[in-house]
């Protein structure tokens, strides 16, 4: 499989705490956010209205110390769900970045286990762990890129087989 190259790496490195109030979440809610992102992501981009129909709403962004030229679009559901940020690839289409905080180290290990249970074993892709499901892929960003959140997962359309 090939993935659209996301150019907004700087956007991925902006601390999530600069985007909205931190929320502590549990692995099942991370999986639900990944599935919602996958459902809203098409070859033409991300359907924000579909996210809204699934209970997500745009949240205010704190732009203090933000190195990005534009304010990112961020969605939240409630204080127990991760955040969803819209990211763009070189072709202009979009996907989601699911990010948030977990209660402790054992919850982080539990998230890895739940991702494998729900989406199957991950395959390595450019330093990330990629979980394929339906017509989507959830790419778990490596530890050094986590900034101050506990996890960051890019969700996009899987693309065509090479």
The reported pTM is: 0.79
Higher pLDDT, 44 or 35: 35
Average pLDDT over residues 113-130: 91
Q: For 87-103, what is each residue's pLDDT tens digit?
A: 876 665 678 989 888 88
Confidence bin at 44 (pLDDT 50/70/90) = confident
Reported confidence tier of residue 29, pLDDT bands at 50, 70, 90: very high
* Whether the predicted pLDDT of 7 surpasses 60: no
HSE (CB half, 13 Å, CA atoms) of 120?
A: 10
The answer on pLDDT for 110 being more than 50 is yes
What's the DSSP call for residue 6?
A: B
As to burial, measured by CB atoms within 10 angstroms (0-12 exposed, 13-18 middle, 19+ buried), residue 147 is: middle
Q: Is 111 exposed, middle or buried (0-12, 13-18, 19+ CB in 10 A)?
A: buried
Return the domain boundaries, the chain: 9-60+77-157
CA dist 135 to 40, 77, 87, 122, Å? 12, 24, 18, 15
**pLDDT surpassing 90 at residue 15:** no
Nearest to 155 by CA among 35, 16, 25, 43: 35
When pLDDT is cut at 50, 70 and 90, the band that residue 17 belongs to is very low
Distances (CA, A) of 131 to 22, 81, 97: 25, 20, 14
- Across the range 18-27, mean pLDDT stands at 67
Q: What is the mean pLDDT of the chain?
A: 76
């Amino acid at each position: 499989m090939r993935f659209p190259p996301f150019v907004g790496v700087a956007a991925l490195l902006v601390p999530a705490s600069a985007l909205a109030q931190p929320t502590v979440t549990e692995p099942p809610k991370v999986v639900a956010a990944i599935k919602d992102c996958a459902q809203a992501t098409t070859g033409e981009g991300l359907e924000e209205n579909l996210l809204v129909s699934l209970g997500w709403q745009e949240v205010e962004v704190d732009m203090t110390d933000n190195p990005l030229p534009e304010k990112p679009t961020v969605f939240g559901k409630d204080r127990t769900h991760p955040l969803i940020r819209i990211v763009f690839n070189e072709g202009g289409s979009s996907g989601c970045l699911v990010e948030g905080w977990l209660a402790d180290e054992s919850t982080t290990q539990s998230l890895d286990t739940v991702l494998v249970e729900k989406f199957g074993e991950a395959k390595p892709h450019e330093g990330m762990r990629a979980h394929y499901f339906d017509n989507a892929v959830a790419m778990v960003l490596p530890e050094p890129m986590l900034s101050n959140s506990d996890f960051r997962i890019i969700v996009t359309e899987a693309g065509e087989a090479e």
